[in-house]
Amino acid sequence: MKKLVIVGIFFALIFTMIVPESYGQTRRKKKKYGGLATNIAIVAGSTAAGALIGRGRNGAMIGAGAGLLYASSRKGTKRRAYNSNYRRAAKIAGGSLLGAGTGAWIGGKTGMVVGGLAGAGATYLYTKNGNRYYRADNGRQFYVRNGKRYYVR
């Protein structure tokens, strides 16, 4: 019995030496808005959910398009150092996928082509009129409309 207790204490000592130390004074700050990994998880999850809920490939396209549209429009994506042209291209790709999935669900292969073109065109027109934000030398954000600067905040 004594040997068993000594072996248990020995393993407890070894385990405490392996575990990294945790100090009470150091605190890691959690990001308020997630980044690229969160966007990938959103798109993957919506694709899987669409495939399960919808009819296989068509549902997966609808889910992927909706997830890509949402992920590229999130506040976390806007706060990252992404180029606005990249976000716009991601939105257009999401609209194209959403339209293609809906068209394939309704009208087969030709419906998929027509729906994809319609979704891409509609998303392109929707994102064309948005504001492009720039950063001035003093650090303030602004956008330009009709040749005039409008400062944000």
Beta partners for residue 145, in sequence order: 148
pLDDT single digits (tens) 40-71: 888 999 999 999 988 788 899 999 999 998 88
Sign of the CA dihedral with 106 first, then 120, 126, and 32 last: positive
pTM of the model: 0.62
**Helix or strand holding residue 151 (H, E):** strand 148-151
Whether residue 96 contacts residue 116, with contact meaning beta carbons closer than 8 Å, is answered with yes
Site of tokens 């087969």 = 108
Mean pLDDT for all residues in the chain? 82
Using the predicted structure, report yes or no on whether residue 24 has a pLDDT greater than 80.
Answer: no
Helix (H, G, I), strand (E, B) or coil at 142: strand
**Helix or strand holding residue 150 (H, E):** strand 148-151
CB atoms within 10 A of CB 72: 23
